[in-house]
Amino acid sequence: MPIYEYWCNHCQRKVMLYLPTFSQASPPCPKCSNNALQRLFSTFSMHKTDKNIYDDILSDSQLTKGMLSNDPRALAEWNKRMSQGEKVAPEYEEALDRMERGEMPANPASGDSGESAEKAD
């Protein structure tokens, strides 16, 4: 199973990392880059629905392939599946929206110049 769960002691939150191979050394936190990650073993006691989501993702070879090549659409899709039922922050939602359109938001927090905000379809 290439998806590993960690607890970040700095952010005080659970983070999930997609690692092709598991190394003993803990990777830095994707949120704060702090090296305070602690591996969780919750996968063993995962709820069935969570496990189904994992299985679903991992059986989708196109999705996993896209994730490995940092395809924004695949990353957005993965995020969507993993956060099922959970509300995401509005600014994050917008970043995901962009990713679904195939754009990799370089800096979602700083926002865009708003060039497309007025665009009416």
Residues forming the site for Zn ion (CB under 5 A): 8, 10-11, 29, 31-32, 34
Residue (8 or 74) nearer to Zn ion, CB: 8
The CA-based angle 62-81-78, given to 5 degrees, is: 45
Residue (29 or 95) nearer to Zn ion, CB: 29
- Least distance to Zn ion, CB of residue 10, Å: 4
- Least distance to Zn ion, CB of residue 15, Å: 7
